[in-house]
Structure 1
């Protein structure tokens, strides 16, 4: 569970940093958030599969660790 919280914290901090840099350069908050939507709406199928894989990877690690821990008991 610690691993998932660390991944979540890093993702939130990264998105916050990107948004804050946009705000510091003079871009409005709505334009900054719109840029996130634009980036994800123009991805190809292969890019979407890669992003999905890397999003699910921490969950796979936690589930595998839990299964391994339960089998060792």
Structure 2
């Protein structure tokens, strides 16, 4: 699989999609069910179009989850869940 450039690790699309899904889910309970499938679709689409490897997506998703958790802690929200 060929990537579009040298700077594909981690996937910034996956990072931002996962962070946004977790943040929105924390703010709106209905978002906890509706938004994650959209984030997953974004992650899968990056592999389908051939611009990221699965490891790029996994690292990006982990980074996004960490960023959302850190932001929630920094803002003084609950850290469980």
TM-score range, shorter chain: 0.3 to 0.5
Determine which structure has more spread, i.e. the larger CA radius of gyration: 1
Q: Structure 1 length as normaliser, TM-score? A: 0.40
TM-score normalised according to structure 2 size = 0.38
Structure showing the higher helix proportion among its residues: 1
